[in-house]
Amino acid sequence: MELSYSASDRRTGKPSLTYSLQTTGFLNAESGEEVGDDSGAKSRYSDPIPVTPGGRKITVQTAKDVAKALAEEFQVNVDGIDFAADEQAPAGDNGRQETVYKSMGGKSRVTVYTENKKIMGFQIRRGLETASSTKHDNHPANPRLSYEEARERAVQYLQPYLDPSVTEVKMDESQMLMPSDTSYSFSFFALHDGVVVSDQHYLVNVDGQTGEIVNFMDYFTTPSAPFPDWRAAISKESAAKKFLQSHPAVLGYMLPGGDGKPQATATPLLVFSLDKTSPFLVDAVSGETVE
How far apart are the C-alpha atoms of 102 and 66, rounded to whole Å?
Answer: 10
Cα dist from 34 to 2, 42, 73, 254, whole Å: 15, 11, 46, 13
Q: What is the pLDDT of residues 133-151, one digit of tens each?
A: 556 778 887 899 999 999 9
pLDDT of 281 > 90? The answer is no
How far apart, in whole angstroms, are the C-alpha atoms of residue 228 and residue 197? 12
Distance CA 81, CA 104 (A): 6
Once rounded to an integer, what is the mean pLDDT over residues 45-73? 96
Q: What gap in Å lies between CA 213 and CA 206, rounded to an integer?
A: 5
End-to-end CA distance of the chain: 17
Percent of the chain with pLDDT over 70: 89
In the chain, count H helices and then E strands. 4, 18
For 184-211, give one letter per residue: b (16+ CB within 10 A) or e.
bbbbbbbbbeebbbbbbbbbbbbbbeee
Q: What is the pLDDT of residue 11?
A: 86
Contact 4, 22 (CB under 8 A): no
Q: How many CB atoms lie within 10 A of CB 153?
A: 19
CB 70 within 8 Å of CB 76: yes
The region of weakest confidence among 25-29, 99-103, 181-185, 259-263 is 259-263
Which residues are registered as beta bridge partners of 217? Answer: 121, 203
Q: Is the pLDDT of residue 26 over 80?
A: yes
**How high is the pLDDT of residue 238?**
94
Nearest CA to 9 out of 277, 278, 229, 224 is that of 224
- pLDDT score at 129: 60
- The closest of 105, 24, 34 to 67, measured between CA atoms, is 105
pTM for this predicted structure: 0.86
